[in-house]
Amino acid sequence: MKILFISAEVNPFAKVGGLGDVAGSLPKFIKKMGHDIRVILPYYGVINNNQAEDCKIVDVPDSSIELEFDGLTSQFSLKKCLLPDTNVTVYFVVNHELFGQYEDIYPANHKENFQLHRFIVFSYATLKLVEKINFKPEIIHCNDWHVASIPIYLKTFADNGIEFFKGIKTLYTIHNLSYQGRTSPDVLKFAKVDPEKFYHIDGLEFYGKVNWMKGGIIYADKINTVSENYAREIQTPEYGEDLDGVLRANSKKLSGILNGVDYSIWNPETDKYIIRNYSKEDFKGKSSCKIALQRDYELEINPYIPVVAMVSRMVEQKGFDLLEKIIYQLKCMNLQLVILGQGDKKYEKLLLKLNENTSNIRVKTGFNEIRAEKIYAGADMFLLPSKFEPCGLSQLIALKYGTVPIVRRTGGLADTIVDFSLDKFGNGFMFNEYATADLLNALKLACKYFENKKIWDKIIMNAINCDFGWQKSAELYEKLYRDTLRGKDKT
Ligand code: ADP
Ligand code: GLC
């Protein structure tokens, strides 16, 4: 099969969260199955400045085109390279005005529609650029709201009689339903989308606004989300972010496939950034990693105090409001809490303050992949008290590092973590309600078992023995691509 995988983030070029991880790893596995899968993302300033030399990014000859949006004509072209250690081609959409001049993937402090406009243009330009270089995929795998306009453009171009775009199918993956790209209908003129055709209740229209996520759901041939549980949850009002009705109406083409982890990157046996490698057979190195982490975070170096870690976007989804409410209790518990994250300024500020007024909670802000790896390796437990969680990669990475997850029973967390109790298998700790008392109970239970080395070792082994590599999920995607091509609904 010929597949174009389009995403706003692709690791290692551009990553803010798990979307980047998935886009940088799933295509490797699809390629290994013998398919021609190519990946495309914008050429952000950060790529330009940091990675061009390492990855030998080169211009794609004869790929230059001009496109006009809002009366302004602008130049677009492609660059390309190979995804590191693979033969997967990655294309970059080059445009200085929208992408090249900004370091950040999602620059803050811009006009309300800035983000929307640049990803609409990215989607439109992608189609025109692959036409220009004559790479016609059979399927375009679209990811998240940023590129939800692709099925709409494909339909528009095909209906306008452009042969190249006829017959291309689309799979739309929802990584996070809470970011939908809602905006005023004025955007349609900018986006060159025909309101007659697409702006109605069974299309982009959403309570008098345009909703791109809704468009992706309706116009894609197939939709999926990143765990089976989240696929069920989003069809309910509690998790549906107001689109549960639309999702229920489209449930025949909706399925869930759990994300995998790329163990060639996330693996304590080979991780080159941690102070000492370790494996389930030889676990000794983990205690050196713990000492290094306690030192890095200026905490008391003590093997008997459990280190609980969070590596996370600092947004409400991840349970920071819950955490905020139990700070006092945490200060008094015999544990150390280590946090690395960036996101909402209100959480960054609030959490950074804890460095000054607590002795057992340490917070660092910023995006730092190397530090993240050191944390996964050095911590004893990994905390993910999410309000909702489509899949979650962090808990899967933690398992591989023998770092025991403590999570809320929601979304992909419920599909991957089994609550430990003495009489049964368990690879972590879970609480049900999004409530401080439940979170505290789970933490206390984990800390209690931590004191019993025999039991704790068993939990660690249960965690580290889990296999959440990509193989199985990539096979499910391969099947989903085939069903998309055949127009087959799930049975
Ligand atoms: P989400 O996509 O919702 O952010 P996931 O658990 O799927 O959550 O993926 C998060 C990914 O981003 C993981 O690879 C995690 O290690 C990484 N990550 C999150 N915050 C940071 C940070 N501040 N520095 C480095 N890596 C981070
Ligand atoms: C989203 C979700 C996360 C998921 C990731 C990759 O950002 O919040 O749960 O793992 O996408 O699919």
Q: Are residues 88 and 197 in the same domain?
A: yes
Q: Are residues 333 and 194 in the same domain?
A: no
Give phi and psi for 227, each to the nearest 5.
Answer: -160, 155
Q: Are residues 92 and 229 in the same domain?
A: yes
Q: Are residues 35 and 154 in the same domain?
A: yes
Q: Are residues 70 and 143 in the same domain?
A: yes
Q: Are residues 203 and 319 in the same domain?
A: no
Range of the domain at 250: 2-260+471-486
Q: Are residues 186 and 329 in the same domain?
A: no
26 Cα: distance to centroid of ligand 2 (angstroms)? 14
Query: Which residues does a 6 A CB cutoff place in the pocket of ligand 1?
Result: 17-19, 21, 311-313, 340-342, 367-369, 372, 391-394
Q: Are residues 217 and 305 in the same domain?
A: no
Q: Are residues 92 and 225 in the same domain?
A: yes
- Please give the sequence-ordered ranges of beta strands (E in DSSP) within 27-148, or none if there are none: 36-42, 58-59, 65-69, 72-82, 89-94, 139-143
Tell me the pLDDT of the chain (491 aa) as tens digits: 999 999 999 999 999 999 999 999 999 999 999 999 999 999 999 997 566 556 889 999 999 999 999 999 999 999 999 999 999 999 999 999 999 999 999 998 777 789 999 999 999 999 999 999 999 999 999 999 999 999 999 999 999 999 999 999 999 999 999 999 999 999 999 999 999 999 999 999 999 999 999 999 999 999 999 999 999 999 999 999 999 999 999 999 999 999 999 999 999 999 999 999 999 999 999 999 999 999 999 999 999 999 999 999 999 999 999 999 999 999 999 999 999 999 999 999 999 999 999 999 999 999 999 999 999 999 999 999 999 999 999 999 999 999 999 999 999 999 999 999 877 789 999 999 999 999 999 999 999 999 999 999 999 999 999 999 999 999 999 999 999 999 877 65
pTM assigned to the model:
0.97
Does 349 map to a domain? Answer: yes
Residue 457's CATH number:
3.40.50.2000
Q: Are residues 202 and 244 in the same domain?
A: yes
Dihedral of CA 32/37/41/45: which sign?
positive
Q: Are residues 421 and 443 in the same domain?
A: yes
Does 280 map to a domain? Answer: no
Does 411 map to a domain? Answer: yes
Does 279 map to a domain? Answer: no
Does 275 map to a domain? Answer: no
Does 426 map to a domain? Answer: yes
The DSSP call for residue 97 is I
* Count of structural domains within the chain: 2
Pocket test for ligand 1, best of 176, 271, 313 (most atoms within 8 A of CB): 313
The minimum-distance atom of ligand 1 relative to the CA of 259 is: 7
Does 356 map to a domain? Answer: yes
The protein residue whose alpha carbon is closest to atom 5 in ligand 2 is 18
374 Cα: distance to centroid of ligand 1 (angstroms)? 14
- Give whole-number Cα distances, 339 to 275, 366, 466, in Å: 19, 11, 25
Q: Are residues 118 and 138 in the same domain?
A: yes
Q: What angle do CA 269, 270, 275 make, to 5 degrees?
A: 85
Does 265 map to a domain? Answer: no
